[in-house]
Every structure is written in structure tokens, then in C-alpha cells.
Structure 1
Amino acid sequence: MKKIAIIGRPNVGKSSLFNRLVKKRDAITSDIAGTTRDVKRRNTVIINKEVELLDTGGLDKGCELFDKIKEMSLKAAYKADIILYMVDGKSIPEDEDKKLFYELQNLGKEVALVVNKIDNDKMKENLWDYYEFGTDAIFGISVAHNRNTVELLDWIASKIPDSDIIKEDEEGEDEIQIIEPELDDEDFFANARKHDEDDDGFTYWDDDEMDGVIQDDTIYGNNDRIKEFNEEDVNHIKIAIIGRTNVGKSSLLNALLGEERSVVSSVAGTTIDPIDETIDYKGKQLTFVDTAGLRRRGKILGIEKYALMRTTEMLDNSNMALIVLDASEPFLDLDEKIAGLVDSNRLASIIVLNKWDISKREEHDKIIKEVRERFKFLAYAPIITISAKSHQRVDKLHDMILEINENYSQRIPTSKINEVLERALRRHTLPSVSGQVIRIYYATQYETRPPKIAIVMNKPSGLHFTYRRYLTNQMREAFNFTGTPLLFKAKKRGEK
């Protein structure tokens, strides 16, 4: 499959063209220079040929962050087969653009000059200035108004071999769709439930909302419907890397992949758009997603609003989370609230104590104890100490992920569950409620990822949370549920 890199200076419309070619609003777009920082990759269809499209950060220089963005973007261009070099048609040609364009041409690749923001016929005159670049492959387009893109698509398709033609029944629509990039403050938390705020302004779960939903490390879904067991693809694990800003999430992604995939900088909030990358490991597909660092709501600025919304979407689509904490600094209340997002999404999880190489190692037991005390709701999550920068113990994470995925995806036979249930009932009889005898008939697992168990009884409302916690502990002692939440639903016989 051919790789196509969209490259150019900041704010020329690279991400907008990327979104139009992949036919959805995937990359975050804004008028702020430097919105795109990491290289975003997506497979799409140009005419009837499948390609891998790369959206890159702007080629700017100055601070450490922009220098690294430029370096990553040029690396992507050097590895691509076709390069779309974009410029702003509303401005005059830049000498730096000419220099980079000639450099890319000398690589022997197919390079097109895409002059964007030619929004009307009068602006076509601006194209003459760009013939100074000395190329016939020049296209004046307007991504925002969807003007004159057909010729560009035809040129791209002509550079892709016929072997990459997809079958007609697999092909999606070729038509370039109009994409509205607008997102206002009211839409910001549209995909999240509304909650009150605490003193520091970060959203949290109300006690009333949590009542009957989460008790200790066990989630009891009041609205779950019992359904037939459906085996999911346990060979593909989607792992979100989550934490507050500057805890080392991008460094961890690079260490897990064994390559510099995500821009790493001392600038807080470097990652804006979630970056995903898939590797094969021992017969499994591991898709890691480097999410934007989270801040208190009062400190969220500009495009970080978009980043937080994308992060919550990534959690919705993940199976597992690596909760990254900075072991070299005191833990914050914000760390707990971020971990609460993982718990509320019912994900398998690993607590990753990063920067262990610069932490006070002699206080190992003290730090681990503090983590357990602060994150009691993640008592099932294992803890690993690493240094993403030096790659210390990062290699152990791959096997931990596979092990926890097995726990997260396992289905316990009904007979085994009921053996544990019977022993538990013999040890501690169910207390009566208002003189009424409470009976449990049997239990059965009805779903995986995460494991969900239905407890069938005569009066579901009579199952006190302390007894449910007792049953949870019994199940965890009998079966390996390390790293995964355990969900229960109390129901009557015949209830769906």
C-alpha cells in the first residue's frame, strides 16, 4: 500500500485536506498554528485505490517543540511514496518552502505542489507566483469550499499501481464530503455525562449517581440487560495511555513501539490529537493510543478542549488503560479523578509508575502504599515501576497486557461459579431483610471484556452491598481477575 504524506508549513490546511480525503473529521483542525503535532495515519480510498494517508505537523522552527514537530514531519515525508506539499495561496511563495520542496523532489519521489485557499476564480491569479517552484504537478484548490479537488485526486490515483485497486463491493463512496469543522463550548462535553465540579474545577462523579453502580472494585450495572454470551475478538487489544500532562505518556508510547512515533517535549500538553499505533506481539494485535494529557478544567486552554473530548472518545473505544503516574512527584487529586475515568469506563487497567529512575527508590514501599490508599477503587490493577526514557522494565508491560487481557476476556463455566457461590453461602448466610428470607438460586457469567456475572435470586433488591463485596472477594480468590473490574447484576428468574 502506498504512503501519501501531506506536508507543509503551519496553518496551510493539511489537516483539513486529510479529513476530506479520509471522509470524516478525524484530525483536529483550528486556526491555531501548531494544532497538529504528531503524525496521524489512516487508510483511505483515493478514487478506487487504497492508500495510507499521513497528516503531519507544520514545518516551523523556533522553540524545542516546533523543532521536534518539524523533525517528525520530515521523517514521515522521507518514508512516504507520494508527497503533497501544501502552501497557502493567499500569501506569496516563501523561500523556505521552495528549499524544502526542491529537497523533497531530489529524493526521487512523486511530489505535488498543492496551493490551498484558492477560494474563487479571482484568486486563481495567485497560482502564477507558484510556478516558480518549477513543477507541472501544481494544483490550486480550496479544501474549505471543496473546489478543484478532482484533478488532484486523479493525479494521486495515477501514481498508485493497479494492484492497489480495491474490489467494488469493498469500496466506499468516492465523493468528497463537506465536513463542518465547528465545535463550540456546548458541544465540548456532549459525549460525557454532566456532573458537578469540586474546588479545583475538575469534573467528578456525584455520590448519588454512583450509588448502586460502583461499590469498591465491583460495578453493579442497574441498566444492563442479560444477553447471550458473544465471544469477541480477544486477539485485538486496544490500550489507552492516560494521565495528566507531562507524566511521560508519549515517551511510554515510543518505548512500547521501539521507535519515535510521538513527539516528546518538556512543554506540557504536547500531545493534542490522540495517536494510535498497532504492533503484533505473540500472535496478538496491540493498538496503543497516546491520549492528550488532562488538566483541571479551569486550566484547559484553546484546542485542548478538543483534545479532552477525543480522549474520552478513545476511552469509550478501548479495552484497557495504562494509567501513567509521575513517581518523582507527589500524587495529585487530579490523578485520582483521571483514574476514575478509567474505572467508570470499566476498562482493564495497569498502574504505571513512570520516572522511577529519578524517584526516591528507597521509598518504594511507601510509594506503593500511597498508590493503594489513593486508588482503592483500582485495587485490582497491578502496579509496575518503569522509566519510559531509559526503557527500564518497559518490556515487561507487553506480557502484562497479554495476561490481563486473558483475565478480562475469560469466561468462567457456570458450574465453577456456582461452586464458589455455594461455599460462600455456607460460610456466611445471606441476612434477611425486614423478616423476608433472601435466596440466591444460581449465578452465571453472561458477558466478557469485562466479565459480567448475573446473580439470580428471589429479591434482587435485598442483596446488601456488603454481601456483594464479600461475594466479589470470594470470586477474586477463586479466579484470576487481576487487572480487570468484575461486574454483577442481581436479577429475578426469567428477568431479561
Structure 2
Amino acid sequence: MTDLRFKPVVALVGRTNVGKSTLFNRLTRSRAALVANISGLTRDRHYGEGRMGDQPFIVVDTGGFEPVSTRGILVEMARQTTQAIAESDVVLFLVDGREGINAHDHEIARLLRKSGQRVLLTVNKAEGMRDHADLAQFHELGLGEPHAISAAHGDGVSALVDDALAPLLVVSKPVDDESSEADRAAEGAAKAPDHRIKLAIAGRPNVGKSTLINTLVGEERVIAYDLPGTTRDAIEIEFQRGERRYTLIDTAGLRRRGKVFETVEKFSVIKTLQAIEAANVVLLLIDAQDGVSDQDAHIAGFALEAGRALVVGLNKWDAVTQEQREWVQREYDRKLRFLSFARVVHMSALKGQGVSAVLKAVEAAHAAAFAKLSTPKLTRILQAAVEQQPPPRKGIFRPKMRYAHQGGQNPPRIIIHGNALDAVPDSYRRYLEGQFRDAFKLLGTPLSVEFKSSHNPYLKDAES
């Protein structure tokens, strides 16, 4: 049995027009999507969530790479591509199977060999290139056996991804059928849910992430230490405040030097995405002096898509005027209105103002994300909501909702059973979400409401 202990990062690199974006779109088709499109990076790096079979990964689409260019934007594109290579676990170096090798391919290959990263040479647009003689020329790049694919048609893509991810898979230890009951009990205890809060602190550079972390771990009666062995140099810091245990997942590149924390405010999209995936609560810090940016919306959108509980901290609130505060609030309502479930805290990480309120909001969001919702109460709330506002008819039939039960946590997942529920519109789903959220006081966490229809053998006859 295998599992991925972290989401590996696959970077797509190559000169222009070799099919990188086509392959990116194919790899990210399950979630469609661009999860970060940041000002200044739009010409060279797009980040998306890929999946082949049951193997998730982060895929990075880079711009056309001209490493020896000295012309304007091409220099920046080369720099960003170089950073993507450094952040990746494996690089797919795409070349054009129809055009063959050119000078740019040789230069890129030289830099990839020098980088020390694991590279899979990928010959795209290789439809019909069954003859190994057709691929022989690509051996001169010195990057091993070429992988022939067609990103447009999907030929060879699954095998390529399997080869790319294979060394990153961890083989789980098989369970011995003759193991003692004590061993089984110990294994079960190890898998029991941990009640510490895994909190990712995310946001743009210089919004105060490291200042907040230093304020938290520097509090009196706080125990803090680095947790070694985390992947990709991500740093996890455990600390305890009162009876509550936390694991802070830093996205700002926190390092420890003796007893002094040295912070590097260097924004990395990949680290942020991985930190959000590893957390169960995300604290999104926004600089009140700069206002709400599209980048803030991208980070919040990924946290929402990942199903993470979320708290928003408007930092440096003490440094803005009343007029600026009103402007920030308008910007927040306009750009982050999809975060209506999240609690907003006005704070100053530097002065420690509002930090206690932030932690209380984080605890409440964590409790809501892991809330246990009883089936009888869910069903009563559902029946009351339907009685107050029945679902709209579709044709001569009205969807009939019978009962509801909890289908999961983090985020809470509610499954409603009944007949003809495929016809329930999204507006009514949102109405039910609001009813459940108000009844259970689920503040700070997304909420998923799903419908499961019973099969009615007479429905088809009645419609005909």
C-alpha cells in the first residue's frame, strides 16, 4: 500500500510553444484550475491541483524559458522559472517532438543538469512516434530516456506521471495478521485524532506573519520548539497556551538559530498551498494599510476549496485612520464576500492587540470544523426549514426531503436523503446551509450540503 505524505510539486519547464499549458490543463482537469494567478507572475507561473488516479500533486506551469535572454520581461520569466525549478520535487522538461532539438533546449538542459533536480525528459507532440529511432536524437540532451507523450490527446501522460511520482510514494507498513491485540490497540491509538490545532498563517509578504508568530511564541508561559523532519523546509512550531496546544505552520520561511528566530519574508506560493493543505485552520492576515488584494482573494479561495476553517486578521489596524478603515471594509466586502462564514478580527501583531481575540476565533473555527451533528437534530432542522420554505417544484414534482445526517468533518458535511433531489437549485442549497449553520452556530468553517436521491421506479412512468 502506498500513500503520499505530502503533495509533491511537479514543474513544467521548456521553451515556448512546446505544449506546457496543454499538459497543465490536462493534469489539472479534475479541479480545473488556476489556484494562484499573482500579479507579476502571470506570464510565467500558474499553480494548479493535479490528480492522476488517486495521486494528488501540485503542478506548476512556467512561461517560455529563455535562460540566456537579456531582453525585458524575458529576464523576469527566466528568473521565475528558475525559482519554480528550485521549489519542485520533479521537473518535466518538455521538448517538441515534431521540431526536434534546438539551441534553447540544449541551454535549458544544461541548467537543469546543474540544478541537481530530478528531471524527466518529455517529448511532446509525439503522436505516431513509435519508432525509437525517432526519439534517439533527444538522448544528446543528457537527461536520460525520453518519455514520448501527446498532451493534446493524452497519450503517455498517465505513464509519465506515474514515473514522475513513483520515487515520492511511501510504502505503508503492512499489518501482520498475527500481531497481538496490544499492538493493534497501540496502532489505533496512534491514528486517533489529535486535538491540537494545526494553524497555518498565510498572507502576502510583509503583512506581519512572522511578527505574529514571534508574538505568539514569545508570550509568557508559552512552550515553543521546532518540529524537525517536515517536508520541503516547511517549519512547524508547537506551542501551548493555557490548556490549548497548537501547531503553527509557517508560510514565511521561519528559521531557528539558537534561541533567536530569524524570519525571511519571502512569499512562496507552493509553501502556502502546502501549509493550507496540512492545516485544519487557516489564519489569513491582511495588511490594513494596503487593503485587500487579488492575491488575498486567491489564498482565501484555495483555503475554501480545500475545505479549511478560516479566520481573517486585519493587521496593523492601529496604524490606519477611520477613513482608511471604512475603505478596507468596503474592499473586504467586495472582494471577499464569499468568506461570509469567517470571523474578522482587527489586530496589531506588533503591539499584541487583538491576538487573544484571534486565538479565540481560531478555537471557535476549529470546534465548528470538527463539530458532531446529531441525526435527529439535523432532521428536525431540515423539516423546519422545508416547512418554512419548501423547495421549488420542477415540472409537476416537488423534491421531497426525508432526513439528514452528518457525512464528515473538517469541513462539516451534511447529507440529505429524499426523492427527486437532483432538481434542488443551488439557491435552496445555500438556504439550507444557512439554516444548519445558524442552528449549530458553525462560525468559521465552510459547510457542505449534499443530496442523495432514492430511486423511484414509478417516476419514469409518471413522467411519460
Q: Shorter-chain TM-score: which interval?
A: 0.5 to 0.7
Compute the displacement of 1:236 (Å).
1.5
- Residue 29 (structure 1) aligns with: none
1:76-101 CA-partner distances (Å, limit 9, x unpaired): xxxxxxxxxxxxxxxxxxxxxxxxxx
Instruction: Specify the code of the residue in structure 2 equivalent to 1:275.
Output: I
TM-score with structure 1 setting the length: 0.49
CA distance in 2, matches of 1:194, 1:464: 22
Name the CA shift for 1:453/1:193 in 2 (closer, same or farther; >3 Å).
Answer: closer
Unaligned segments of structure 1, at least 5 residues: 1-23, 27-180, 207-230, 263-271, 294-303
- Residue 357 (structure 2) aligns with: 396
Secondary structure of the 1:321 match is strand
* Contact preservation (8 Å) 1:195, 1:203: no
Name the CA shift for 1:484/1:205 in 2 (closer, same or farther; >3 Å).
Answer: same
Pair 1:250-2:88 in alignment = no
Secondary structure of the 2:289 match is coil
- Residue 275 (structure 1) aligns with: 235
* Contact preservation (8 Å) 2:313, 2:345: yes
* Contact preservation (8 Å) 2:282, 2:308: yes
Q: 2:381 aligns with which of 410, 420, 444?
A: 420
* Contact preservation (8 Å) 1:256, 1:395: no
1:359-397 CA-partner distances (Å, limit 9, x unpaired): 224543443343133211110100011111111121222
* Contact preservation (8 Å) 1:274, 1:311: no
Name the CA shift for 1:428/1:185 in 2 (closer, same or farther; >3 Å).
Answer: same
* Contact preservation (8 Å) 2:285, 2:314: yes
Q: 1:405 aligns with which of 354, 362, 366?
A: 366
CA distance in 2, matches of 1:412, 1:182: 36
1:165-221 CA-partner distances (Å, limit 9, x unpaired): xxxxxxxxxxxxxxxx99754599989956358694275899xxxxxxxxxxxxxxx
Unaligned segments of structure 2, at least 5 residues: 15-19, 50-190, 226-231, 254-265, 456-464
Q: 1:290 aligns with which of 236, 247, 250?
A: 250
Secondary structure of the 1:313 match is helix
CA distance in 2, matches of 1:471, 1:184: 41
Compute the displacement of 1:490 (Å).
0.9
Q: How many residues align?
A: 275
TM-score with structure 2 setting the length: 0.52
Name the CA shift for 1:480/1:331 in 2 (closer, same or farther; >3 Å).
Answer: same
- Residue 377 (structure 1) aligns with: 338
Name the CA shift for 1:308/1:416 in 2 (closer, same or farther; >3 Å).
Answer: same
CA distance in 2, matches of 1:315, 1:25: 14
1:463-491 CA-partner distances (Å, limit 9, x unpaired): 11011111111112212111011111211
CA distance in 2, matches of 1:407, 1:463: 26
- Residue 107 (structure 2) aligns with: none
* Contact preservation (8 Å) 2:288, 2:325: no
Secondary structure of the 2:416 match is strand
Please report the RMSD computed on the Cα atoms of aligned residues, expressed in angstroms. 3.8
1:327-381 CA-partner distances (Å, limit 9, x unpaired): 0113221211111111111111100111112122454344334313321111010
- Residue 469 (structure 1) aligns with: 430
Q: Specify which structure has the bigger relative contact order, considering alpha-carbon pairs within 8 angstroms and separated by 6 or more residues.
A: 1
Pair 1:195-2:33 in alignment = yes
- Residue 359 (structure 1) aligns with: 320
Pair 1:241-2:241 in alignment = no
Secondary structure of the 2:431 match is helix
* Contact preservation (8 Å) 1:274, 1:292: no
- Residue 166 (structure 2) aligns with: none
